[in-house]
Amino acid sequence: MTGWMTRAAVAAVLVLTMQMTGDGQAGSAVTDLAAKLRERFDIVALQQGVALVPRQAGSGVRLIQVEGGVVAVDGQTLTGAQLRERLAGDADLVVQVSFLTPQQQRELAGAPAPAAPPSIERTNVVRGDRVRFGGDITVGRDERIEGDVVTVGGALNIDGEVTGDAVSVGGALTLGPDAVIRGDAVAVGAGLKRAPTARIEGEIVEVGGGPGGFGRGRMMSSMFGSFWSRLGSLAATLLRVGLLVLLGVVVVAFGRNAVERIASRTAATPVRSGLIGLLAEILFIPVLVLTCVVLVVSIVGIPLLALVPFAVLLLMLVMLVGFVGLAFQIGGRLAARLGWTSAGPYAAVVVGVVAIGAATLVAKLAGLAGGFLVGAPLAAVGYFIEYVAWTVGFGAALLYWYETQTRFGPRRGVTPATPAAPSPSEA
């Protein structure tokens, strides 16, 4: 390890010496390094670095990529120690390449210096940020946005200039050949598509869905997931089911009567409960938006906007209680079939929650063993079963709430008393 650090320090000193002693000596050092490299590798220029292809067919390494000071071997970024183990004696030369400037790396590959981009006149100048929810944003070639550009739920296409940050959440961030971003480029969900001549002066941040990496191997990994990503997905599913079990036990402890009533409703009218739950899910967002608009328009209702988050939490609680009621019903029936006569309400909820999530758990286990193609179809079935369970339980909880409101009439099952008919003598 000490020898490796010493060689890295020597390489850094070499590069600094090259830069301090003038362009002529630096060019000579790059030439000497290129001669040593060509004895072992074919050097190919990349947009932001170089690629080294071993000349020996049995070397065990197909491609070494050096970009931005980062070394990747066959598409996998390696640390110093890993690079030393993989490349042995060639690691010193590769480290020297990583310390070169992009221009020196192009000279190393014998590529001409890139021509200076022509100046572009931005005639359409917009001052201030541009933000859009649920729609696309396009910055034309003749536009300059003096601020940030942010889109949520839409694509962001830039071929002009943005003096601030360019952020796309849930849509692709596409940079044309004349695009200039003075700040950061952030793509969350759909990745960054960048023309070779596009300029980003800040940082590049990609979260999920980004192309990233190098070559087909990374693309296949992003599509089908690595073993560790599938293991993490299984752990997340186990954690979610465990949390639902815990919440179910708490709900039964504090509202057993409501849970039992909802459970009986899911058994008596499952189709009706499912349709009501589905209708409530469809109307939830429009009703919420309409309510907020009405409160904003009316001056008196503006203070009531603070209650909107609590209303959303209350609705989520109703959904949870409905789901627990359905799990209680399923768990009770399974316990009866298995002969668990002594199973109490808490055991019924635990069995029901695990039964609802069983298909998803099996799908994650199958995906861990057989990969994406095996696990994805089973996972789709599992998620569908869970969605149906939540929807039916939600509808049953709404029906239970409706039936307990006396202002809508007498409670279900309670027949109002009718006056007795007068006797003939009284008539």
d(CA 393, CA 356): 12
The pLDDT assigned to 197 comes to 85
pLDDT over 90, % of the chain: 16
Q: Is pLDDT at 309 greater than 80 in this prediction?
A: yes
Question: Which range, of 92-101, 109-118, 334-343, averages the lowest pLDDT?
Answer: 109-118
Per-residue pLDDT band for 390 (boundaries 50, 70, 90) equals: very high
Q: What average pLDDT does the segment 338-349 reach?
A: 82
Q: What angle do CA 268, 393, 290 make, to 5 degrees?
A: 125
Going by pLDDT thresholds of 50, 70 and 90, the confidence category of residue 228 is low
| Average pLDDT estimate for 265-280 | 90
Q: pTM here?
A: 0.46
Where residue 89 falls among pLDDT bands split at 50, 70, 90?
confident
pLDDT higher at 374 or 18: 374
**What's the pLDDT score for residue 115?**
54
Higher pLDDT, 284 or 83: 284
Mean pLDDT of 381-388: 91
Taking residues 348-361, report their average pLDDT.
90
| Confidence label for 353 from pLDDT (cuts 50, 70 and 90) | very high
**Residue 118 — very low, low, confident or very high, per pLDDT cuts 50/70/90?**
low
Digit-coded pLDDT (tens) for 28-65:
667 777 777 777 777 877 767 778 788 776 667 778 88
Average pLDDT over the chain, rounded to an integer: 77
pLDDT > 70 in the chain, percent: 77
Characterize the bridge pairing of strands 70-73 and 64-67: antiparallel
Lowest mean pLDDT among 260-264, 297-301, 339-343, 345-349: 297-301
Taking 80 as the threshold, does the pLDDT of residue 251 lie above it?
yes
Q: What is the pLDDT of residue 299?
A: 67
Model confidence at 408, pLDDT cuts 50, 70, 90, reads very low
List the 199-200 sheet strands across, edge first: 124-127, 143-146, 161-162, 180-181, 199-200
Examine the pLDDT at 167 and tell me if it is beyond 70. yes
Tokens of 194: 């960048």
Q: Is the pLDDT of residue 9 over 80?
A: no
What was the pLDDT predicted at 191?
Answer: 77
3-state secondary structure 383-410: HHHHHHHHHHHHHHHHHHHHHCCHHHCC
Entry field: residues in the chain: 427
Residue 271 pLDDT greater than 70, yes or no: yes
Hey, which of 95-99, 191-195, 204-208 has the most confident mean pLDDT? 191-195
Q: Which range (225-234, 287-296, 415-424) has the least confidence?
A: 415-424
Q: What local confidence, expressed as pLDDT, does residue 149 receive? A: 92
Rounded to whole angstroms, the Cα distance separating 302 from 304 reads 5
Q: Please report the pLDDT score of residue 424 as a whole number.
A: 42
* Overall average pLDDT of the 137-153 stretch: 89
